[in-house]
């Protein structure tokens, strides 16, 4: 069997005395789209942020593409990775945030080519060419020179997706990408994500969009208070939940 793209084993995380993750075990295969649902405060976003080491985990193990996240195992002990290595690994993982977090002092195109040029040391010409193509692909080929504030939320989020894709990541993390959008703008963003999934991108999507999870997701995880309550095929979990907590949650959101 191929190495899983992401593997988590008993991942724990606490902020002070507050336990946010209490033993997460998952496996995401290459080309798989996994959706994570659950009430706010259930630890979904925190788990996503652990995967690219924006948060350090306190116990358990977490691998991306067969390599430990944030650490290196030598002589039976874990050693923290130097900053350079952490950054290199992050550069291979794309992340899309709920609040877009585009760089407001740069145009759409500048946002997209910043990391390829500064981090991967690509030539500006090559990065620009790919940046244009990516923005075109997310339907913003005509807004290259717009600043984020001149774009609608849906357009900003599509620029943010293009920005993440510009690094040619092997894994994409989406942290509630449509939660901050007006309902009529959600569709455009989901379409871009759907296309990406069809092209075989490995994706982990924290979302409240049950339609997307059912239609595009290969697997679905329901989290509550830092634990996985139920996981499986999205149609089964949504259509026929086994756990009481899952039923209760779904009855409120569907």
Partner 1 sequence: MTELSADPPVPPGSTRVRPEAIRAVPLRHPWRWVSAVVVLIVLGAVVDTFATSSLHWSVVGQYLFDARILQAAVVTLYLTAIAMVVGVGLGILLAVMRLSPNRVMAWVSWLYIWFFRGTPVLVQLFFWWNINTILPYLSIGIPFTHVMVQASTNTLITPLLAAILGLGLNEAAYMAEIVRAGIISVDQGQTEAAHALGMRRSLVMRRIVLPQAMRVIVPPTGNETISMLKTTSLAYIVTLHELFTVQQDISNFNYKIIELVIVASIWYLAMSSVLTVFQYYIERHFARGSVRGLPPTPMQRLRRMLFQFHAAPPFGSAAEPDGEPWLPPAMPHSGM
Nearer to partner 1, 72 or 99 (CB): 99
Q: Which of 101, 96, 97, 98 is nearest to 180 (CA)?
A: 98
Q: Which is nearer to partner 1, 44 or 163 (CB)?
A: 163
DSSP-based three-state secondary structure for 16: coil
Instruction: Categorise residue 16: left if φ over 0, alpha if ψ from -120 to 50, beta otherwise.
Output: left
- Residue 180 near residue 100, CB atoms below 8 Å: yes
**Minimum distance between the CB of residue 160 and partner 1, rounded to whole angstroms?**
8
Q: Tell me the C-alpha distance between 56 and 244, whole Å.
A: 32
> Smallest distance, Å, CB 213 to partner 1?
17
Closest CB to partner 1 among residues 83, 244: 83
| Structural element, H or E, at residue 37 | strand 33-37
Residue 164 or 213: which CB sits closer to partner 1? 164
CA atoms of 212 and 214, how far apart (whole Å): 5
Interface ranges with partner 1 (CB under 8 A): 52, 54, 83-84, 87-95, 97, 99, 101-106, 114-115, 118-119, 139, 143, 147-152, 154-155, 160, 163-164, 167, 185, 187-188, 191
Between 94 and 131, name the residue whose CB sits nearer to partner 1: 94
Least separation in angstroms between CB 64 and partner 1: 13
Residue 149 CA, chain-centre distance (Å), reads 23
């Amino acid at each position: 069997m191929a190495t899983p793209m992401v593997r988590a084993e008993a991942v724990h995380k606490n902020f002070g005395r507050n336990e946010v993750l209490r033993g997460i075990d998952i496996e995401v295969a290459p080309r798989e789209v996994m959706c994570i649902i659950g009430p706010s405060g259930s630890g979904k976003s925190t788990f996503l942020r652990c995967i690219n080491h924006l948060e350090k985990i306190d116990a358990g193990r977490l691998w991306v593409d067969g390599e430990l996240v944030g650490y290196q195992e030598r002589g039976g002990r874990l050693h923290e990775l130097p900053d350079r290595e952490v950054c290199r690994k992050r550069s291979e993982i794309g992340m899309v945030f709920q609040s877009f977090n585009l760089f407001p002092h740069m145009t759409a195109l500048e946002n997209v080519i910043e990391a390829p040029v500064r981090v991967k040391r690509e030539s500006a010409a090559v990065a620009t060419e790919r940046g244009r193509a990516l923005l075109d692909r997310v339907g913003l080929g005509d807004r290259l020179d717009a600043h984020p504030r001149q774009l609608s939320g849906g357009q900003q989020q599509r620029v943010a997706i293009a920005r993440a894709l510009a690094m040619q990541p092997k894994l994409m993390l989406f942290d509630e990408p449509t939660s901050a959008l007006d309902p009529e703008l959600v569709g455009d963003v989901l379409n871009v994500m759907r296309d990406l999934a069809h092209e075989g991108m490995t994706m982990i999507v924290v979302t409240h969009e049950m339609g997307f999870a059912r239609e595009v997701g290969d697997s679905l995880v329901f989290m509550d208070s830092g634990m996985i309550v139920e996981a499986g095929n999205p149609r089964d979990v949504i259509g026929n939940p086994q756990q009481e907590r899952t039923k209760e949650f779904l009855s409120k959101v569907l």
